[in-house]
Amino acid sequence: MQNPNNNGTLAELRGMRFARGKRVIFDGVDLDIRRGQITAIMGPSGTGKTTLLRLLGGQLKPQAGTIRVDGQDVPRLRTKPLYELRKRMGMLFQSGALLTDLSVFENVAFPLREHTDLPESMLRDLVLMKLEAVGLRGARQLMPSELSGGMARRVALARAIALDPMMIMYDEPFTGQDPISMGVLLKLIRHLNDSLGLTSVVVSHDVAETAAISDYIYLLSEGRVVAHGTPAELRESRSQWAQQFLHGDPDGPVPFHYPAPDYLEDLLAGGEAR
């Protein structure tokens, strides 16, 4: 693990514990997001990957442990500094989360209008530049309801980079995409990360695609980091867990069966028990 004062780390989690009611979602997670890299966080559905992004963005607070982003202790920040920090963090939601009553142009202009006082002509140029970067300058007049899922995510991406953030968090960017928009998104994530000098966090369970663009991967299961390393290291890893997840085996450390009483006993119980 890296030294917390190391400039190479933009965000770090130490011993982070988070529970919803009695359900423990994270129990002692240690994780580093390195500057300039694409860090992937993978794991089966329901491991709280999206929750992790919300914790990083300060929308949820952990019960224990620390979350630092750019040297700031996120859960302890008051509203104002937290909002200042969020201006430098973009987040791409799974659904895109575009404002449905605004056009594509206005959606991308939204954070600029809210946080800056730019003259209209400069604002227009900025929005068009961001839309050009995701290839949708021509779609500026469309409403969100007229966009395909992939296009909506690209608009959301343009909006996420509108304020030139230091970091972007992607929540399941590839879910439900056809191969072409998947390819477009992969290219955009890698390209934007390198050309804008961003740091990216990609939460996903699309193994092959995510592994292809990421520099470092964390595998989560049952509230813990079960394996981490570069994609090449993980492929070589002896961790049974990593092997099951990367190859998509139906049974292994993550069992095929949901925990249940003994099969034979269950069958012989007859109609008395449900």
Partner 1 sequence: MINLLAELGRRALDFFERLGRGHLLLLSILWRQAGLVPRFWLVIQQIYSVGVLSLLIIVVSGLFVGMVLGLQGYNILVDFGAEESLGTVVSLTLVRELGPVVTALLFAGRAGSALTAEIGLMKATEQLSGMEMMAVDPISRVLAPRFLAGVLSMPLLASIFSAVGVLGGYMVGVVLLGVDEGAYWSQMQASVEIYEDIANGFIKSVVFGVVATWIAVFEGYDAIPTSEGVSRATTRTVVHTSLAVLGLDFILTALMFGD
The site for partner 1 (CB under 8 A) is made up of 54, 57, 59, 83-84, 86-87, 89-91, 93-95, 97-100, 110-111, 114-115, 156, 159, 163
CB of 65 or CB of 144, closer to partner 1: 144
Smallest gap from Cβ 161 to partner 1, in A, equals 12
Neighbours of 130 (CB within 10 A): 23
Structure tokens at 232: 């090449």
Smallest gap from Cβ 211 to partner 1, in A, equals 26
Structure tokens at 74: 């996120």
Contact 36, 199 (CB under 8 A): yes
Best CA proximity match to 33, nearest among 7, 59, 61, 9:
9
CB of 147 or CB of 246, closer to partner 1: 147
Smallest gap from Cβ 245 to partner 1, in A, equals 27
Contact 198, 88 (CB under 8 A): no
Smallest gap from Cβ 140 to partner 1, in A, equals 19
Residue 99 burial by CB count (10 A; 0-12/13-18/19+): exposed, middle or buried?
Answer: exposed
Smallest gap from Cβ 180 to partner 1, in A, equals 24
CB of 31 or CB of 112, closer to partner 1: 112
CB of 107 or CB of 204, closer to partner 1: 107
What is the C-alpha separation between 57 and 183, in angstroms, rounded? 27
CB of 99 or CB of 212, closer to partner 1: 99
Structure tokens at 166: 């230091």
